[in-house]
């Protein structure tokens, strides 16, 4: 059996110290989870064969942007000693986000397919970290919904 990558163990320890396990369900996202129609179902109903929803790339781009910009996206496995805490204030480290995504999916969104689960986990992470709150997101979703359905 191969040995576990030492980087993995080091980051695992760091993640545990940050209590990334502490999370509670977000009722807004639970609603989306229950009522939202996933891409696979929509494709079946409308006879569309594109494997990914049109928003998959924009979601990926959002994740990359949150990690801190163009070049940072290629450095997602940056070791701790090479990170600059002062520059990290408004960043959502890509490794942290991915680990939190794994945890949140396992806990809340396992039955939802990809990339819908990635989106739910990202929204959950942003709310949990206080980058915006649930009410703000609910309001914005209402506005977006009205806008998209106004044609």
Partner 1 sequence: MAEKHKPAPMVEEVSEFEVLEIAVRELAIEKGLFTAEDHQRWTEYMHTLGPLPAARLVAKAWLDPEFKKLAVEDGVKASLEVGIDWVNSMPTHFGTPSDYCNLRVLEDTPKLKHVVVCTLCSCYPRPILGQSPEWYRTPNYRRRLVRWPRQVLAEFGLQLPDDVEVRVEDSNQKSRFIVLPVRPEGTEGWSEDQLAEIVTRDCLIGVATPKPGKTANDPRPVRPAVNPYHH
Q: What residues between 104 and 123 interact with partner 1 by CB under 8 A?
A: 106, 110, 114-116, 119-120, 122-123
Q: What residues between 132 and 151 interact with partner 1 by CB under 8 A?
A: 132, 136-137, 140-141, 143-145, 148-149
Applying CB under 8 A, among 23, 75, 128, 134 the residue interacting with partner 1 is 75
Q: Does 23 bind partner 1 (CB under 8 A)?
A: no
Q: How far is the CB of 85 from partner 1 (least distance, A)?
A: 17
Applying CB under 8 A, among 40, 60, 87, 88 the residue interacting with partner 1 is 60
User: φ and ψ at 62, to 5 degrees?
Assistant: -60, -45
Applying CB under 8 A, among 27, 58, 80, 135 the residue interacting with partner 1 is 58
- Long-range CB contacts for residues 89-95, cutoff 8 Å, separation at least 24: 91/66, 91/67, 92/63, 92/66, 92/67, 92/125, 92/126, 92/129, 92/131, 93/67, 94/63, 94/64, 94/67, 95/11
Residue 120 burial (10 A CB sphere; 0-12, 13-18, 19+): buried
Applying CB under 8 A, among 27, 40, 42, 88 the residue interacting with partner 1 is 42
């Amino acid at each position: 059996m191969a040995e576990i990558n030492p980087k993995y163990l080091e980051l695992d320890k760091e993640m545990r110290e940050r209590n990334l396990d502490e999370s509670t369900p977000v009722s807004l996202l639970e609603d989306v989870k229950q009522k939202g129609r996933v891409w696979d179902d929509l494709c079946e109903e409308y006879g569309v064969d594109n494997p990914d929803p049109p928003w998959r790339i924009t979601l990926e781009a959002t994740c990359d942007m949150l990690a801190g910009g163009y070049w940072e996206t290629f450095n997602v496995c940056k070791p701790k000693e090479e990170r600059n805490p002062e520059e990290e204030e408004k960043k959502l480290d890509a490794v942290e986000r991915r680990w939190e995504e794994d945890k949140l999916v396992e806990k809340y969104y396992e039955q939802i397919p990809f990339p819908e689960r990635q989106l739910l986990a990202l929204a959950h992470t942003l709310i949990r970290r206080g980058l915006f709150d649930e009410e703000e997101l609910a309001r914005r979703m209402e506005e977006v919904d009205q806008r998209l359905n106004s044609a």
